[in-house]
Structure 1
Amino acid sequence: MISYQFKNTYFLLVSLFFFSLISCNPSKNSKFKITTLPKSETSSTLQISTGADQTKLYLKLLKNKTIAVTTNQTSVIHKNNGNYTHLVDSLLSLNIHVKTVFSPEHGFRGKADAGEKVTDGIDAKTGLPIISLYGKNRKPSKEQLNGIDVVVFDIQDVGVRFYTYISTLHYVMEACAELNIPVIIFDRPNPNGYYIDGPTLETEYKSFVGMHPVPIVYGMTIGEYAQMINGEKWMENGIQCNLTVVALKNYTHASNYSLPIKPSPNLPNDKSINLYPSLCLFEGTNVSVGRGTEKQFQIFGSPFMKNKDFTYCFTPQPNFGAKHPKHENVECCGLDLSTTKPLDKINISYLVEAYTSTLDKSTFFNTFFVKLAGTNKLQQQVESGVSAKEIHQSWQPKIEVFKKVREKYLLYE
């Protein structure tokens, strides 16, 4: 029987660490394991160190191995002078044999539009082959993993179910589990990690923008989430992988963390990341969230909303990250939220207000909305005139169930 221990003493963590150094590539018949490399005690006065920053913890796991790295532009190692270097560049400089780079949505350098198919290629700087996991295939194939001893996963997430990096994580873990290849997660802070909210996904609405029965905002780091995928046996046929998480130092779920690099082209700052869980539902409607402006995910509006209070107007135009934005060159009126107070829950009143103010309600929702919501109930509630407060309350029973599942996999307070 396999035992899961996610809240271990420091002594046990150290023991697991040294065990992992000698058993990183287990035999075909070995049981899967979950290892957490040790982290120091938390302190509000100390700087957060990401998993990637802690090279001494993981270099011995990679020496004399052929590795693949699942990564994008956010995978950096911070230096004391405030600068940083990309993880791949650092590993190559340390004579780690990186054979392949797998890239998620938006590509290795993070320049592709949301939803834009990303093709394979060669990285101009390193000469490494780049295999897209957001193009013709979303799961590494047996051929693409041929000769790989270890897969490293290091991508900055924002802690929201429909942000597709956790779907890429799922498929990377699944492919590696099938081939008995260990996965090492370099953990990173979750900027929305301090609350849990939103409707919980129902399995019949599973898609690449929602693969697991979790609320929209789930309050976990990507390392914790990987442990949950494994522990809850969410991968195909209940398969599980050998997983090592290089934990964060000086982090709690209440930590205030400002991302040093945009996690994707249309999340340019802390405000957009904070509003993203509330505003991304508009991607399944005829309302713009500011793509094609300089306030992506900080404003919303459409040509169809009529309300005397909607005095803020904008006109989406092609720009970086939005080659053809919704309502291109058409004036949209709505609300500017760029100076509002930070949210600690999903503000569903934005959606309710926009729907109420739209004249032709038959065109408000599109088929993508149910995938984003993870349920058909939210659309039904909005169309039936249920208040924002009642909608929010309806999520709570399933959130409480999820919290009990989540608790088993937490690494941080």
Structure 2
Amino acid sequence: MTLLACNSTPKKNQAKDDGVVPNVESPAIITGANQTENYLKLLEGKKVGVVANQTSVIFKDASEETHTHIVDSLIAMNVNVTTVFAPEHGFRGTADAGEYIEDGVDEKTGLPVFSLYGKNRKPPAEFLENIDVMLFDVQDVGVRFYTYISTLHYVMEIAAELNIPVIVLDRPNPNGHYIDGPILESDVKSFVGMHPVPIVYGMTIGEYGKMINGEKWLDNGIQCDLTVVPLQNYTYASEYDLPILPSPNLPNAKSINLYPSVCFFEGTTVSCGRGTEMQFQIFGAPYLPKDQFDFSFTPQPNFGAKTPKHEGKVCYGKDLRTVEPLNEIRLDWLIEAYTATSDKKTFFNDFFKKLAGTTKLKAQIEQGMSIEDIKATWQPGLESFKETRAKYLLYN
């Protein structure tokens, strides 16, 4: 059975040499999950574990509203799904960022659901006792500190240790059109940054899994039996609006595009809009001067933010919703907020170095280094990474 997904924004062909743009739409992107003919045969007669969340769906037709969850679909196709594993935000995607998630049972299917964002980031071996093959299908956003790639790492690692094959159903990267940021330094490695890659790395999650394997980043250099079901009709120039929210605080395409730049504020005393409906599209704090920051908002508990930073306090900052789409990391907003802060000693917290992936960025900002000079220090690492990345690309 083949199910085609028209879940992307069609892109017109580029202009011809004579300047005339033909009125022809590019074929729709087909996700890995929708190519059932390419992976069902790998699941036949197997006990299957599935790593999934609310984005893990098979699209039934051209309507973005018409889809079924990958787990429900596999069960309907008589695949023996035995276990579900849930990344950050949970199997149904309703938990706050960083919220501890308990193991449980999926009410719809009765399947056990093991959390990979609770007491276990790496699944214990006993969780895989009833599994012959692992299927990974989670929508990523192409940013180093977005934790789904860390979950992929640990799933691949335990699978390699137990000789269990892993199948990754690839999905587009909405931030795949550029590469930017400092390379992660090993001394600040954490669950929000595990590998020596820049903040924005320009790869799909399938390509990223190939890189984890090929560069031997798993424990003791072991390698996983990895299969990637690639996308069809996808390039890094493809326009793609995610039809399902990848997490509660990335509500739209603008927030996803701004996320690599605005998320720096998570490591400071400035709010990035959690507790509003403009998450990662605004920033502000109660102490920023009103005459310089004329946009205001008041964070309140809401879906995805039970205890937002500066809850109930009026924050003064900037509204970034009309900013042109980014193809680089913007540092000017962070530096502007830091410069306007009177108590600079408390502006940054310990989380900032984990987000940045380096201790240097904080020091560079505190020293008053220009954006151009800061970014110049990233270039040698970026050039080296691009050479590594090129070995694992599946798309142009």
Q: TM-score, normalised by structure 1?
A: 0.89
2:40 is aligned, of 43, 59, 84, to 59
The Cα shift of 1:223 comes to 0.2
Aligned match of 2:68 = 85
1:143 lines up with 2:126 in the alignment: yes
Contact 1:293 1:316 in 2 (8 A): yes
3-state DSSP of counterpart to 1:61? helix
2:55 is aligned, of 60, 74, 81, to 74
Contact 1:348 1:392 in 2 (8 A): no
Question: C-alpha deviations, 1:353-387, integer Å up to 9, x for none?
Answer: 11001111111000000011110000000000111
The Cα shift of 1:307 comes to 5.7
Query: More deviation in 216-225 or 297-306?
Result: 297-306
The Cα shift of 1:308 comes to 2.2
State how far apart, in whole Å, the 2-side matches of 1:287 and 1:45 are: 42
1:385 lines up with 2:356 in the alignment: no
Partner amino acid, structure 1, of 2:27 = L
Partner amino acid, structure 2, of 1:189 = P
Aligned residues between the structures:
371
The Cα shift of 1:306 comes to 2.0
1:330 lines up with 2:313 in the alignment: yes
Partner amino acid, structure 2, of 1:68 = G
Question: C-alpha deviations, 1:152-182, integer Å up to 9, x for none?
Answer: 0000000000000000000000000000000
State how far apart, in whole Å, the 2-side matches of 1:211 and 1:65 are: 31
3-state DSSP of counterpart to 1:200? coil
Aligned match of 1:253 = 236
3-state DSSP of counterpart to 1:378? helix
1:131 lines up with 2:114 in the alignment: yes
The Cα shift of 1:315 comes to 0.4
3-state DSSP of counterpart to 2:333? helix
3-state DSSP of counterpart to 1:245? strand
Aligned match of 2:292 = 309
1:113 lines up with 2:96 in the alignment: yes
Question: C-alpha deviations, 1:177-206, integer Å up to 9, x for none?
Answer: 000000000000000001000111001110
State how far apart, in whole Å, the 1-side matches of 2:249 and 2:348 are: 22
The Cα shift of 1:393 comes to 2.1
Aligned match of 1:293 = 276
Distance 1:307 1:397, change over 3 A: farther
Question: C-alpha deviations, 1:191-246, integer Å up to 9, x for none?
Answer: 00010001110011100000000000000000000000000000100000100000
State how far apart, in whole Å, the 2-side matches of 1:315 and 1:338 are: 17
2:346 is aligned, of 352, 363, 375, to 363
Aligned match of 2:266 = 283
Partner amino acid, structure 2, of 1:343 = L
3-state DSSP of counterpart to 1:144? helix
1:349 lines up with 2:349 in the alignment: no
Q: Which runs of 5+ in 2 are unaligned?
A: 1-12, 14-24
Partner amino acid, structure 1, of 2:31 = T
Partner amino acid, structure 1, of 2:194 = M
Aligned match of 1:32 = none
Contact 1:74 1:263 in 2 (8 A): yes
Question: C-alpha deviations, 1:277-309, integer Å up to 9, x for none?
Answer: 001111000000000001000000011222623
The Cα shift of 1:75 comes to 0.4
Contact 1:307 1:357 in 2 (8 A): no
State how far apart, in whole Å, the 1-side matches of 2:337 and 2:168 are: 40
Aligned match of 1:167 = 150
Aligned match of 2:8 = none
State how far apart, in whole Å, the 2-side matches of 1:355 and 1:156 are: 33
State how far apart, in whole Å, the 1-side matches of 2:305 and 2:290 are: 27
Partner amino acid, structure 2, of 1:235 = L
1:215 is aligned, of 198, 204, 207, to 198
Partner amino acid, structure 1, of 2:188 = Y
Contact 1:267 1:296 in 2 (8 A): yes
Aligned match of 2:189 = 206
Question: C-alpha deviations, 1:342-361, integer Å up to 9, x for none?
Answer: 00000011111110011111
Aligned match of 2:17 = none
* RMSD of aligned alpha carbons: 0.9
Aligned match of 1:412 = 395
Partner amino acid, structure 2, of 1:54 = Q
The Cα shift of 1:140 comes to 1.1
State how far apart, in whole Å, the 2-side matches of 1:297 and 1:174 are: 32
State how far apart, in whole Å, the 2-side matches of 1:352 and 1:85 are: 44
Partner amino acid, structure 2, of 1:291 = R
Query: More deviation in 230-239 or 80-89?
Result: 80-89
Structure 1 residue runs of 4 or more that deviate by more than 6 Å after TM superposition: none
Aligned match of 1:12 = none
